[in-house]
Amino acid sequence: MAEGEQGLNSHYAVHWQEEEFYYPRPEFIGQANCTDPDIFERFSLDNFPECFKEFGDLLDWDQYWHTTLDTSEAPVWKWFVGGMLNAAYNCVDRHLAKYKNKTAIHFVPELEEEPIIHMTYQELYRRVNETAAVLQDFCGLKAGDRVTLYLPMTPELPITMLACARLGVIHCQVFAGFSGKACGDRIWDSESEVLITMDAYYRSGKLLNHKANSDEAVAAAEKQGQKVKKVLVWRRYPGKYSSSTDMVEGRDFFADELMQKYKNAVIPPASMPAEGILFLMYTSGSTGRPKGCQHSIGGYLSYVTWMSKYVQDIHPEDVYWCMADIGWITGHSFIVYGPLALGASTVIYEGVPTYPDPGRCWRIAEELDVNIFHTSPTAIRALRKVGGDEPAKYNYYFKHMTTVGEPIEPEVWRWYYEVVGRGKAVVVDTWWQTETGGFLCSTLPALQPMKPGSAGPGLPGIHPIVYDDDGNEIPPGAGKAGNLCVKNPWPGAFQTIWKDKERYIKSYYGKYCKNPQSTDWRDWPYMAGDAAVMAEDGYVRILGRIDDVINVSGHRLGTKEIESAALSAVEVAEAAVVAVPDEIKGTVPDLYVSLKPGYEATTELAKKVSEAVADVLGKIAKPGHVYIVPDMPKTRSGKIMRRILASISSYNDVGDVTTLANPEVVEEIRHMVQG
Ligand code: PRX
């Protein structure tokens, strides 16, 4: 199905489970940032869009805005128009008067023998300025230029992001676990002439040569015609890993060496329009090409700051740890921009949560006095599986915990609440997306009870609605699944897809737009691409994606991207990917391939195809299984029936196959997969 024309899959049957509620404890409510029950009234649609003034007011502005929301180019929304500000100033400079000696970033290396770094706001200020000086003077970057970052989880990542923001340069961070080729595609799409990377980093106790991946990224970008003029390489281990022989003369430079020339440089923060671009974050959609989600400076920053304050309940004295990777939107919004805009102390952990043992996370929490903890169901499932009794061995206290990125099974939720949170911490299940900048549905922790397995209702100012395929509202409590949409725009919403406004409109607004000529926001509900059920009390239960996107460990992968990666193996004639439930990762991709004539199905070849996918996209996309089939099940018009393959992989009934062009192949494949 083409993007923007998605339909609800018939397999979203709704199995009602008994609903249970958990209530926040008085100790939490007593200290919470938001305890005002009138807040929802204040943010009713009658007060839209002016209610969002309170979001903008959390920031310092060089010039205040004159128009809260400009809809003249609907559905391209412009927030806080006329306002001028700088994101780095808001995340760093403005805290110096009060907090210059306070820790901004606690950096925890994966190797426990390496010391934890506690970087103060003053130190962060110095390093952001020096980096900005290098980007400006040495690289010649200026406001509006794009620069690709391909950095692992070290302080250099937020420092480089903030240095870009200081200059008004648009950063495009690519998850370090992605392959060089995937990074190259993003360098090309964003037309970045500068790549900023790192020599090496540890993952599961292994030192990875990241410079080699970066060279691949440059080669892949240049193959598509995008010249990379400069590569800045931060050294995690100067002298130990990277030698100058790996460096391409005139192109590659050690970032830490360049900084020496700009010691204590001060670069004034560029005064940027609110609707200027802060960053691009690529994500997967229905087609093979990743989408560069374009986020604004004023709207985005105000949104994540408000969410950090009232949903994450961050106070300046809290130690806040979000375990996501900064290469994904969760890390951008809830490790870097939101917490730093509030002057909080944010933890960056370099490594794997269970390395070197299942107690690692809880040791970090104990050592740093973390009291707000934020992670994904995949991590929770893994921690529960490998060390269900570990949390009890450590001395920490969480007041607040978050789950994000995938549906969480009520049973896993209860372990998180009882064992990790010791029945004391409030839990928020936050539903949102790369496109939305920040949370859309969640409970407000001091005001609304938790319901395991459901994200909360719409947050203040967010008015969700569930539509059926014909555009009729499915009323809350109807017990029927539909397409989850939001009636109104909000400041954190992405502005467009980079260089592809048409795809933006079609994918997110095409299906339910009431009048394509309209500049009235009421005519443009946002379609998220998730199937969901809304209970009578407004809580939403997310059932999964309605498009060709698979959510693996809370990360989005496009089936088309995986299929085209599989086709990079010369032997492969056709490829089809299906999502299969997985105990830890939520879902994993199973890959079915058929071969070109003359090739033989062997286990080595299956392995080779699997490696080819990892090579093109990164390890995260590696299929759970690769099945080499004699032929794909096809309709008479030649369309591959992925639904049938999905049923086989999940051990479900394949249904009626008699209308296929080749029904006999179904039994053969079933036998191959299920034995
Ligand atoms: O399907 C929903 C799922 O993750 C998708 C968004 O993925 P991404 O853009 O990578 O952003 C992840 C971090 C927000 C959504 O369309 N999703 C996200 N949060 C939840 C969720 N599914 C269920 N419950 C959630 N809390």
Q: What is the pLDDT of residue 8?
A: 54
The mean predicted confidence, pLDDT, of the chain is 94
User: CATH fold of 553-674, please?
Assistant: GMP Synthetase; Chain A, domain 3 (3.30.300)
Residue boundaries of the structural domains of the chain:
21-79+296-547, 92-101+114-270, 553-674
Q: Which residues pair with 374 in a beta bridge?
A: 322, 402
| Cα Rg of the chain, angstroms | 24
Share of the chain above pLDDT 70, in %: 97
Residues with CB under 6 A from ligand 1: 283, 329-330, 404-407, 429-434, 455, 528-530, 542, 545, 551, 554-556
Region 299-317: mean pLDDT is 97
Ligand 1, atom 26: closest residue by C-alpha: 431
CB 205 within 8 A of CB 228: no
Q: Mean pLDDT, to the nearest integer, of 302-323? A: 97
Q: What is the pLDDT of residue 639?
A: 85
Using alpha carbons, select from 89, 95, 85 the residue that is nearest to residue 64.
Answer: 85
d(CA 197, CA 148): 9
- CATH architecture classification, 92-101+114-270: 3-Layer(aba) Sandwich (3.40)
**Residue 668: is it exposed, middle or buried by C-beta count within 10 angstroms (0-12/13-18/19+)?**
middle
* Longest Cα separation, the chain: 74
How does pLDDT run across 368-411, given as a tens digit for each residue?
999 999 999 999 999 999 999 999 999 999 999 999 999 999 99
Predicted local confidence at residue 10, as pLDDT: 40
The DSSP H or E segment spanning 502 is helix 501-509
Q: Give the relative orientation of helices 156-167 and 121-133 as an angle to the nearest 10 degrees.
A: 60
Residue whose pair of structure tokens reads 């991590």 in the numeric block:
379
How many of the other CB atoms lie within 10 Å of CB of 663? 15
d(C-alpha 417, C-alpha 422), whole Å = 6
Q: What is the CATH code of the structural domain delimited by 21-79+296-547?
A: 3.40.50.12780
Q: How confident is residue 287, by pLDDT bands cut at 50, 70 and 90?
A: confident
In this prediction, residue 12 has a pLDDT band, given cuts at 50, 70 and 90, of very low
Instruction: Label residue 144 by pLDDT band (50, 70, 90).
Output: very high
- How many angstroms does the Cα of residue 376 sit away from the middle of ligand 1? 10
What DSSP letter does each residue of 364-375 carry, written as one string? HHHHHT--EEEE
Q: Which residue, 54, 70, 524, 48, is CA-closest to 274?
A: 70
Q: For 391, which DSSP code?
A: G
Residue nearest to atom 25 of ligand 1 (CA): 431
Instruction: State yes or no: pLDDT of 443 exceeds 50.
Output: yes
Are 364 and 347 spatial neighbours (Cβ–Cβ below 8 Å)? yes
* Percent of all residues in the chain with a pLDDT value above 90, rounded to a whole number: 89
Question: In 199-276, which ranges are E strands?
Answer: 200-203, 206-209, 230-234, 252-254, 272-273
The pTM assigned to this predicted structure is 0.94
Ligand 1 center to residue 586 CA distance, Å?
12
Reported as a pLDDT band with limits 50, 70 and 90, residue 94 is very high
Per-residue pLDDT tens over the stretch 16-73: 455 789 999 999 999 999 999 999 999 999 999 999 999 999 999 999 999 999 999 9
Cα separation of 395 and 500, whole Å? 50
- As a whole number, mean pLDDT of residues 331-353 equals 97
SS3 125: helix
E-only strand ranges, 351-490: 372-375, 400-404, 426-430, 464-467, 482-486
Common-topology check for domains 21-79+296-547 and 92-101+114-270: yes
Q: Token pair for residue 661?
A: 């062009």
pLDDT bucket at 15, cuts 50 / 70 / 90? very low
The pLDDT assigned to 241 comes to: 67
- Whether residue 93 is predicted with pLDDT greater than 80 in this model: the reply is yes
> Which one-letter amino acid corresponds to residue 274?
A
Does the structure show a pLDDT above 90 at 602?
A: yes
Residue 344 in contact with residue 320, Cβ under 8 Å?
A: yes
At 554, the pLDDT band (50, 70, 90 cuts) reads confident
- Cis-peptide into 316, omega within 30 deg: no
322 membership: H or E segment, kind and range:
strand 319-322
* 405 CA distance to ligand 1 middle (Å): 4
Query: Would you state the structure tokens that stand for residue 288, as one six-digit string?
Result: 């093979």
> pLDDT tens for residues 103-129?
999 999 999 999 999 999 999 999 999
Ligand 1 atom closest to Cα of 330?
13
pLDDT band at residue 307, thresholds of 50, 70 and 90? very high
Contact 577, 525 (CB under 8 A): no
403's CB contacts (< 8 A; 6+ apart) are 375, 376, 377, 380, 413, 416, 427, 428, 429, 430
Tracing tokens 């923060």 back to the chain, one arrives at 269
Burial 449-477 (b: 16+ CB within 10 A, else e): ebbbbbbbbbbbbbbbbbbeeeeeebebe
Mutate to test the pocket of ligand 1, among 380, 409, 433 (most ligand atoms within 8 A of CB): 433
Q: Which of 86-100, 444-458, 543-557, 586-600 has the lowest mean pLDDT?
A: 543-557
Give distance in angstroms: CA of 404 to centre of ligand 1.
Answer: 7
Tally Cβ neighbours within 10 Å of residue 2.
11
Q: Name the phi and psi angles at 146, rounded to 5.
A: -105, 145
545 Cα to the center of ligand 1, angstroms: 9
The pLDDT value recorded for residue 669 is 96
ipTM above 0.85, yes or no: yes
